[in-house]
Amino acid sequence: MNQKGVIIQGSSRSDGNTNKIAAFIKEKTAFDIVDLKSKNISSFDYDFKNQGDDFIPLMNEIVNSYDIIIFATPIYWYSMSGIMKNFFDRITDCLKIEKEIGRKLRGKTMGMISCGSDSELKKGFEMPFVESAKYLGMPYLGNFHTWMENEIISESLKKELNIFIEKNIKTVYTKV
C-alpha cells in the first residue's frame, strides 16, 4: 500500500524558488503541497487564545491524511523561514491542549528540504527538524539542500533531487 505524503511549504513567496522545488517533488511523488502563506496561523500563545485560526484544522488534516511530511523552507538569515518557525512553535498546541493530534504525529515520517542562494547548507540548520522529529517520535528521512541560479532548477540539481527522492522518499513511500 502506498503511503500518502504532503509537502509543507513555508515561504514568504507562494510562487518562489521553494515552491519550484516543492512542485518538482510533487511531480515525482504525487504528494500534496500545503502553502503556509495561504493559511492564517497565529504565533504561539501560552494562553492558547489563538484557537480560531487555521492551525488546528490544518494539523487535523495532516495527521489524518498523510504518513510522510516534508517541510520545505527557504533559508532566511541562516535559519528556517519565520512562517515555518511559527508553524513549528504551534506544534506545542498539539502537545498541551490538542493532545490527540500530537499523539497521531508519532510514527509519521518527517523530512526537510531547504532552498537557498548558496550551494552549502550551514552547520546546524537541520537541527530543529532532526530534534523535533526525535521528540515527536517521527522517523526522520533526512534533508536535501537546494539552491537556485536565475530561479531555474539546473539539470544537475534535478538529477540530485531525483536521487534523493528515490533513495529517501520513495523508499519510505512504497513500504507497506
104 in a structural domain: yes
- The answer to whether residues 130 and 140 touch, using CB atoms and an 8 Å cutoff, is yes
83 in a structural domain: yes
| Environment class of 90 (CB within 10 Å of its CB; exposed 0-12, middle 13-18, buried 19+) | buried
Range(s) of the domain holding residue 68: 5-170
What's the CA gap between 81 and 88, in Å, rounded?
11
CATH number at residue 57: 3.40.50.360
Q: What is the DSSP string of 119-151?
A: SSPPTTTTHHHHHHHHHHT--EEEEEEEE-BTT
Residue 117 is predicted with a pLDDT of 85
What's the CA gap between 111 and 138, in Å, rounded?
10
- The answer to whether residues 56 and 98 touch, using CB atoms and an 8 Å cutoff, is yes
Residue 173 is predicted with a pLDDT of 61
Residue 150 is predicted with a pLDDT of 83
Residue 148 is predicted with a pLDDT of 84
175 in a structural domain: no
Residue 1 is predicted with a pLDDT of 43
Residue 172 is predicted with a pLDDT of 66
The residue written with cell numbers 523561514 in the block is 81
21 in a structural domain: yes
Which cell goes with 56?
488546528
62 in a structural domain: yes
97 in a structural domain: yes
What's the CA gap between 82 and 85, in Å, rounded?
5
Where residue 86 falls (left for φ over 0; alpha for ψ -120 to 50; beta otherwise) is alpha
Q: What is the mean pLDDT of each successive set of 10 residues along the chain, which is 176 residues long?
A: 85 95 95 98 94 96 97 95 97 96 96 91 94 97 90 91 88 57
176 in a structural domain: no
pTM over 0.85: yes
Which cell goes with 65?
491524511
Which cell goes with 126?
537541520
Domain count, the chain: 1
144 in a structural domain: yes
Residue 176 is predicted with a pLDDT of 35
